[in-house]
Amino acid sequence: MRQIALYGKGGIGKSTTSANLSAAFSEMNLDVMQIGCDPKHDSTRMLMHGRWIPTVLEQMYEHKELKTEDIIYHGFGNIRCVEAGGPEPGIGCAGRGIIATFQLLEKMDALFGDVVVYDVLGDVVCGGFAMPMRDGYAEEVYLVTSGELMSLYAANNICKAIARISERSSAKCRLGGVICNAKNMENERELVEEFAKRIGSRLVYYIPRSNSVRAAEVNCMTVIEHNPESEQAEVYRNCAKIILDNTDLRIPTPLALEELEELARNYL
């Protein structure tokens, strides 16, 4: 079983990338599970044709006896979709919610398949959001970033979390690489490529900006389902293939803030 986590700044396109990668994996006849680890609980919506599936946390506290069908829903390509869910903004502890979700999935023995994709909240703001990296869950982390400084800053912060977690002898979590979800900035690819190199990793794939993504989303589908013949669908397929073939997993070396800023300046 391959366990892959996508981390990155909020709004950078993790859920879109995750859903399209999951769709691409399923096209390869793989048994795929996607787990949204964000209180926004919209990770799997495109796989579920726009349906907001009940979240694990909602179900956990509304029903005493939970069955797997209460929290796992089948979407496009028979992908098993799960949304951890979480509290309303500004109240409670979303990090604890992620931990509780993993504990329940573990108890249900629900974590299985050829590929499990974890789509995690932007910043690793507390131990809860580092949960997918711990305890043998996500063994490969992919940083999704654009060339924007704040996006690189968030990616760098996630590297810090990976580096810290990797210090433990039992840790299996490693950085698989960086995915550039482009914003069509000048020198963006080169910048992200250099960033990946500096943190001791590599640019796994460059996803160009495309209107087909927007078109698919307004139709509540992934690009692979909505426009399977498009160039963008092929981009996601290629990215999925590269990830599947990737065996180059490393412990990253996060940059100092000054170095990160200098890097961004160099590619203006």
Partner 1 sequence: MAGCTLTGALSVACFIPGAVTVVHAPHGCAHQTFSMLHAMMNDAETKITPEIMVSGLSDKDVIFGGEGCLRQALDRAAEKKPDLIIVVTSCVPETIGDDCRAVCQEHAYAKQILYIPTSGFLGGSAKDGENSALIGLAGLAEPAEPIPGTVAIIGEKNLESEVEENYAEVTRLLHLLDLTVTVRFCRNADVATLKKLGTASCFILRDDRSSDAGRELGKKFNRRVIREFPRGLSGAITFLRETGTACGISREKIDAAVSSENAWQEKKLAGFSKLRGKSVFLGAEPLEGIFAVAREAIERIGMTESPDGVEVKPPFYLPVGVSGTMKMLYLWRRRILHG
Q: Which residues bind partner 1 (CB under 8 A)?
A: 57, 60-61, 86-88, 90-94, 96-97, 100
241 flagged as catalytic = no
- 192: tokens are 């992200």
- Nearest alpha carbon to residue 102 among 31, 19, 6, 35: 35
In the complex, least distance from residue 216 CB atom to partner 1, rounded to whole angstroms: 32
In a 13 Å sphere around the CA of 67, the CA atoms on its Cβ side amount to 2
> Which is the catalytic residue, given 31, 40, 70, 172?
40
**Do 205 and 217 form a contact (C-beta atoms < 8 A)?**
no
Could you give the angle at the alpha carbon of 205 between the alpha carbons of 202 and 209, nearest 5°?
135
What DSSP designation does 150 have? H
User: By C-beta, is 12 or 56 nearer to partner 1?
Assistant: 56
> Which is the catalytic residue, given 31, 123, 172, 241?
123
User: By C-beta, is 37 or 243 nearer to partner 1?
Assistant: 37
40 flagged as catalytic = yes
In the complex, least distance from residue 92 CB atom to partner 1, rounded to whole angstroms: 4
Neighbour order of strands in the sheet with 73-74: 73-74, 80-83, 32-37, 115-120, 2-8, 140-145, 174-181, 203-207
160 flagged as catalytic = no
In the complex, least distance from residue 239 CB atom to partner 1, rounded to whole angstroms: 33
197 flagged as catalytic = no
Could you give the angle at the alpha carbon of 18 between the alpha carbons of 125 and 52, nearest 5°?
85
User: By C-beta, is 77 or 97 nearer to partner 1?
Assistant: 97
The CA distance from 3 to 173, in Å, is: 10
The shares of helix, strand and coil residues in the chain, as percent rounded to the nearest 5, are 45, 15, 40
User: By C-beta, is 100 or 179 nearer to partner 1?
Assistant: 100
**Do 160 and 125 form a contact (C-beta atoms < 8 A)?**
no
User: By C-beta, is 78 or 90 nearer to partner 1?
Assistant: 90
Which SS3 state, helix, strand or coil, does residue 250 take? strand
In the complex, least distance from residue 72 CB atom to partner 1, rounded to whole angstroms: 20
In the complex, least distance from residue 123 CB atom to partner 1, rounded to whole angstroms: 17
List residues with catalytic annotation: 9, 14, 40, 123
